Structure 1
Amino acid sequence: MDAEQTDLWQRLADYEIGPPGAAFTFAQRLARENRWSGEYAARVLSEYKRFCWLACEAGHEATPSDAVDQAWHLHLTYSRDYWDRFCPQILLMPLHHGPTAGGTAERTRYYDQYAQTLASYEAHFGEPAPLDIWPGARRRFVVDPLNARVNPADVLIVPRGLAYGLALAIAILMLGLVALAIT
């Protein structure tokens, strides 16, 4: 089935989250809260709509990517919009967010669901999910859970390669100072 030819897809495509005419739109808030560009946030929002279609129509439980999950979390904070308009008028059904209970069995279940979601995405939308928004299952459930959301106003964020280079330079400088002190 071509997802984009369905009535559900037309309702999703036409749907805007939040109050009409808001000075600070949902997409702008999504970008700010995740430190994304406006263009990337708009793409994530489009992928969130594709995820919602899959959650309703794929025939199995769908699991979002982390970026799509951030859009879903933010949408849930617009609770009146989500529960009073989106679910009953756009999806025509409730869509509950079910976080993991933790543990190996849950990790395996969500890993498998995510892999199945990616396969359904390609089957229903006729193209693979974009990797910058929908990474592979290993990245999503093994690598990405190690990340932490931090406020850059509170910390200095240094890329790993630069940090190693600086550490090496400081070590060489210290060895040079020690060598000078000995002689």
Structure 2
Amino acid sequence: MSPPGTVLWQRIADHEIGPADASLTFAARLARENRWEAAYAERVIGEYRRLCYLAVTAGHPVTPSDAVDQAWHLHLTYSRDYWEVFCPQVLGTNLHHGPTQGGVAEHQRYYRQYAATLASYETIFGESPPADIWPAAYRRFTIDPKAVRVNFFDVIILPRRVALALGLLLVVGGWLAGRIM
């Protein structure tokens, strides 16, 4: 559900980010840079549009999910579109992006803002935000910040269980090899 009949929502929904004739579209770039499926990237862009609507209408500061934040970061790199078209002509206001300054007070502030964003999302859009794009506040601010972005051409990523099992096999194998010799 989208905010019915709002001119602002229609402007946000109609705005195309980046050149229409680009061989690497905004959505394709977002998918590539985050190693997402194209359909997921498109869904994230839809949720970014909803965040922008909330930023203008919710009446309080909003905080994006990590996935939505990736779309926002990428949109900011299209600086002419963002500052010369999107903010003044589509949103009708500047929408600044500021990172946390760190520390306990900032963590608590962003945690509360994110929870308020999720609540406003439900009120304004009449549905819960999709959990695969908007995780619960606890996950967003306790678990996800421990993640890092990696280049898969440089590393091999194994699930923790697999890595622990392989490590155990190496230890047991080394122990057995030492007993045999």
Query: Where on the TM-score scale, by shorter chain, does this alignment land: which range?
Result: over 0.9
In 2, the alpha carbon distance for the partners of 1:54 and 1:127 equals 14
The alpha-carbon deviation at position 40 of structure 1 amounts to 0.6
Alignment map for 1:1-183 (pairs within 5 Å): 3-181=3-181
SS state at 2:82 partner: helix
In 2, the alpha carbon distance for the partners of 1:126 and 1:66 equals 22
Counterpart code for 2:97: H
The alpha-carbon deviation at position 127 of structure 1 amounts to 0.6
Equivalent pairs counted in the alignment come to 180
Q: Which runs of 5+ in 1 are unaligned?
A: none
Checking the alignment, whether the CA contact within 8 Å between 1:63 and 1:114 is kept in structure 2 is yes
Identity over aligned pairs, percent: 61
Q: Which runs of 5+ in 2 are unaligned?
A: none
The alpha-carbon deviation at position 153 of structure 1 amounts to 0.9
In 1, the alpha carbon distance for the partners of 2:139 and 2:90 equals 31
Distance 1:176 1:33, change over 3 A: same
Checking the alignment, whether the CA contact within 8 Å between 1:4 and 1:125 is kept in structure 2 is no
The alpha-carbon deviation at position 135 of structure 1 amounts to 0.3
The alpha-carbon deviation at position 30 of structure 1 amounts to 0.3
TM-score of the superposed pair, with normalisation by structure 1: 0.95
Deviations 1:92-143 (A, max 9, x none): 1110001111111111000000000000001111110111100011111111
The alpha-carbon deviation at position 168 of structure 1 amounts to 1.4
TM-score of the superposed pair, with normalisation by structure 2: 0.96
In 1, the alpha carbon distance for the partners of 2:3 and 2:165 equals 49
In 2, the alpha carbon distance for the partners of 1:7 and 1:160 equals 48
CA-based RMSD of the aligned residues comes to 1.0
In 2, the alpha carbon distance for the partners of 1:4 and 1:68 equals 22
In 1, the alpha carbon distance for the partners of 2:103 and 2:26 equals 33
Checking the alignment, whether the CA contact within 8 Å between 1:66 and 1:140 is kept in structure 2 is yes
The alpha-carbon deviation at position 20 of structure 1 amounts to 1.8
SS state at 1:5 partner: coil
The alpha-carbon deviation at position 3 of structure 1 amounts to 2.0
Distance 1:35 1:4, change over 3 A: farther
In 2, the alpha carbon distance for the partners of 1:3 and 1:59 equals 15
Checking the alignment, whether the CA contact within 8 Å between 1:4 and 1:10 is kept in structure 2 is no
Q: Which stretch has the larger CA shift, 51-60 or 148-157?
A: 148-157
